[in-house]
Amino acid sequence: MKRTLFMLWCCLVFSATVTAQIRLESWRSHSSMNTATDITIDAEGNYWVSTIGGVFRFSPQDGAIEEFRNIDALSSMDCSTIAYDPQSKNIYIGSSNGDIDIYTSQGSWNRITDIRFAKNLTKKKINQFLFANNVVFVAGDFGFIDYSYSGAPGTYAQRIGIFPQQTEVKQMLVWNDSLVVVTPQGIAITALNNTSFGNPMTWRSITANQGLLNNECHSATIIRDSLFIGHSKGISVYKNGIARVRYNTKQAEEFDNIITIDNNGDNIVMSKIFTIEQLDKGIIAQPTFHEFAKHKTIIANSTVMLFTFFTQNGGIGIQKDGKQEKFIPIAPFANLFTSLAVDNTGVLWASGDRDRGTGTYILDNGLWKNFNTSTRKDISENGTFKVATFSDGSVWLGSWGGGVTRVLRKDNDYEFTRFTNSNSPLIGLKNAPDFIVTGIVAKDRDNNTWVPAFALGDPGPTLTMINDQGNHKSFFAPLTLPRRTYTDVVIDANDTKWFASRDEDGLGYFNEKNTPDNMNDDVWGVLNTGNSTILDNSPSCLEIDKNGLLWIGTSAGLNVIYNTSNAARQGGKVTVSKLQTISNQVVRDIAVDAVNNKWIATNQGVFVLNEDGSEILATINIQNSPLVDNDVRAIAFDYQSGKVYFGTEKGLSEALTLAVKPLDDFNISVYPQPFHPGIDTELIIEGLGENSGVHIVGIDGRPIRSLSTRSRKTVWDGKDEFGNYVDTGVYVVQGVSATTEKAGAAKISVLKK
């Protein structure tokens, strides 16, 4: 295997598939570091913690935390182990996909990707680093490989003793002059100076046949001349060539399982779900925050430190004076970002999926806040999985079983009002009416909020309308839409409500003709694969663009409805068109930017389409950008700043686009001033009106260059119409709106060097 050269993300540019008008810059990654996987301590006493959302360094002296993610640092944020090497003074970080990142003592980053790209390895997660014999041993789900300090790979032990090829190595230890390997097949031991680790004959295998409790070994530790081996139901000990059972847990109690073992110098320490115990001495810690995921004991400067890792995104703690003291960065509660929306103050609202109960998290001026039952007394459930924001400042949270919640800003806080079957017509399942599944809500032109409810074949309203005063009205679908399987709702310019089925019942629509009390003129309809060319009977997402067209995401690509107005008329024929541009893609979400381009989230990255969807303007994926993951679940825009957010199940990516909502009146500003063509990358032109023609002219009115944009912001590269850099002088940028005929201008000082 060859060592792959390291490249900083900041040096990465988009491939040719990204046009000048779709440019992303100022990338940032956001992730939760609540789920810790490992910890190490450097020579200065700093704690380095690996998590499934990156790495952070914690200074116990002053409480300072520094975070490292995939931009200018890690190659992968799903970090599985971390270790400090006292010889090189480097920090080694292993990931679930096989990447190895090295933070050097000089503060730079190196990367080794041999394991990640090795085609002969079916499993690549890295479990541990061991520094011994002037090499770095890397243990993982594939076995183990040793590396020199220059990063050159040495021996790959494909088969260890009698165990099958690529047997997972949970842990490696140095025991006197021997190397010990812990696997789910048993223990293997060889000489540390073995020059043929890949030769199975050089290993001694120890299994249940030799006296272990069983072959399922997950950890080991050494006290004096004895090797202790951890199993889920007990501990074995190996000494003088003899293995025997040392400790058995209570077989009937599942929570009594041992998660891992190590030692505090003189005693075995083992973690279970609800306790951490010393062997033969009893409980030394019980969970303060969440159940234990595992523990790790580190002895530094003759001081024993017990670190506790918690489940349920519970973070990491250190045991002090019989208590657990938590340290963790301020971050989103979880790495699940499956629904996103930006409110009218620029705050990003996010939630996870329906099953994992992660609540809601917001990004406000660069700081994260988490809203769940643990952080607020006025929140009674964590099942939020759909988020919608509106121009009136309200935020609505759809949930899996908890009804729908309206959130309003109150001074520097928020007010949460939950609607269920106790205070609204919403009703859940027939046998569980309190279990109310809602989805993405929508608002009509009168600011009424329309809420769908999912309950399969059980009776109840398909849609519920809630007005600003909290009054409500139910709407029951006719037999053409017999089941309540519809969730996400959007409303078009004719006030037709379009709603997607979660359960193969197609795309429904409804218009009450602005007479909610008169059912006789109501229009209901459904589009499915039997009566239209819709690609899927369970549309994944819906979006109305700035021209009033309905865009439909499916598991097989995109549909578009151009004649949405026909749905408001009895007998009106609605035509579903198939978009050929990105056919056969699994569409997760659709977002419309400030200039009406369509951003399509798929399981293979993001596709940016022009206004009518006929052209792919850009493709965005992990190969050409710092995107956290290719399986993008949600996209949201801040139209005032041009920020775009990409939600995944591995974290959130943020970038700045040129798509900014234009001004009603021109207020043009340009920077940098003076502008140095060929040295400064470009001149930024801001403060443009709608659908602007932008003209660069000389001070004498001589035309230099013409541009056009539908955004508030565009750029000029300093060249004239013939591709030549302009000379030193004063120029004027003139903007004229083709829509409103309003105009504006600003001067540019150009200094050519």
Give the model confidence (pLDDT) of 491-537 as tens digits.
Answer: 999 999 999 998 999 999 999 999 998 999 999 999 999 999 999 99
Peptide bond into 86 cis (omega under 30): no
With residue 407 as reference, give the H or E element that holds it: strand 404-410
pLDDT at res. 452: 95
Question: So what CATH class is 669-750?
Answer: mainly beta
Q: What is the DSSP string of 491-537?
A: E-TT--EEEEESSS--EEEEE-TT-TT-GGG-EEEEE-TTTS--S-S
pLDDT at res. 253: 66
> How far, rounded to the nearest angstrom, does the alpha carbon of residue 111 sit from its chain's CA centroid?
22
Q: What is the tens place of the pLDDT at every residue in 728-745?
A: 999 999 999 999 999 999
pLDDT at res. 302: 86
Quick one: 44 exposed, middle or buried, by C-beta within 10 A (0-12, 13-18, 19+)? exposed
pLDDT at res. 55: 98
Euclidean distance between CA atoms 441 and 443, whole angstroms: 7
Q: Are 590 and 490 in contact (CB under 8 A)?
A: no
The residue whose two tokens read 């190196």 is 110
Residue 409 pLDDT exceeds 60? yes
Q: What is the tens place of the pLDDT at every residue in 112-152?
A: 999 999 999 999 999 999 999 999 999 999 999 999 988 88
For the chain, give the mean pLDDT.
93
Q: What is the tens place of the pLDDT at every residue in 243-283?
A: 999 999 876 566 789 999 999 999 999 999 999 999 999 99
pLDDT at res. 17: 37
CA quadruple 618, 623, 628, 630: dihedral, nearest 10: 70
In the sheet that holds 557-561, the strands lie side by side as 541-544, 550-554, 557-561, 577-579
Q: What is the tens place of the pLDDT at every residue in 27-75?
A: 999 999 999 999 999 999 999 999 999 999 999 999 999 999 999 999 9
Quick one: 616 exposed, middle or buried, by C-beta within 10 A (0-12, 13-18, 19+)? middle
Residue ranges covered by each domain of the chain:
33-112, 669-750
The H helix count followed by the E strand count for the chain is 1, 64
Read off the tokens for 286: 């019980």
pLDDT at res. 355: 80
Q: What is the tens place of the pLDDT at every residue in 80-96?
A: 999 999 999 999 999 99
Residue 182 pLDDT exceeds 90? yes
When pLDDT is cut at 50, 70 and 90, the band that residue 357 belongs to is confident
Residue 181 pLDDT exceeds 90? yes
Euclidean distance between CA atoms 740 and 734, whole angstroms: 15
**Of 539, 546, 577, whose CA–CA distance to 559 is shortest?**
577
Residue 10 pLDDT exceeds 80? no
Euclidean distance between CA atoms 316 and 737, whole angstroms: 56
Which position has the higher pLDDT, 381 or 420?
Answer: 420
Read off the tokens for 618: 């850009």
Q: What single DSSP character describes residue 117?
A: H
pLDDT at res. 257: 92
Residue 2 pLDDT exceeds 50? no
With residue 115 as reference, give the H or E element that holds it: helix 114-117
Q: What single DSSP character describes residue 237?
A: E
Euclidean distance between CA atoms 336 and 356, whole angstroms: 9
Q: What is the tens place of the pLDDT at every residue in 597-653?
A: 999 999 999 999 999 999 999 999 999 999 999 999 999 999 999 999 999 999 999
Residue 21 pLDDT exceeds 70? no
Backbone dihedral region for residue 564 (phi beyond 0: left; psi -120 to 50: alpha; all else: beta)? alpha
Peptide bond into 164 cis (omega under 30): no
Q: Are 695 and 703 in contact (CB under 8 A)?
A: yes
Q: What is the tens place of the pLDDT at every residue in 228-240?
A: 999 999 999 999 9
pLDDT at res. 237: 98
Q: Based on C-alpha coordinates, what's the Rg of the chain?
A: 30
Which position has the higher pLDDT, 344 or 302?
Answer: 344
Which position has the higher pLDDT, 660 or 483?
Answer: 660
Q: Are 153 and 145 in contact (CB under 8 A)?
A: yes
Euclidean distance between CA atoms 63 and 40, whole angstroms: 16
What percent of the chain is modeled with pLDDT above 70? 97
Task: Confirm or reject CATH 3.30.2320.80 for domain 33-112, answering yes or no.
Answer: no
Euclidean distance between CA atoms 746 and 733, whole angstroms: 5
Euclidean distance between CA atoms 331 and 325, whole angstroms: 18
**Of 260, 330, 291, whose CA–CA distance to 56 is shortest?**
330
Return the bridge partners of 93, or none: 82, 101
Residue 6 pLDDT exceeds 50? no
**Of 342, 450, 429, 447, whose CA–CA distance to 388 is shortest?**
342
Which position has the higher pLDDT, 100 or 251?
Answer: 100
Question: How many other C-beta atoms can be found within 10 angstroms of the C-beta atom of residue 715?
Answer: 18
One fold for 33-112 and 669-750: no
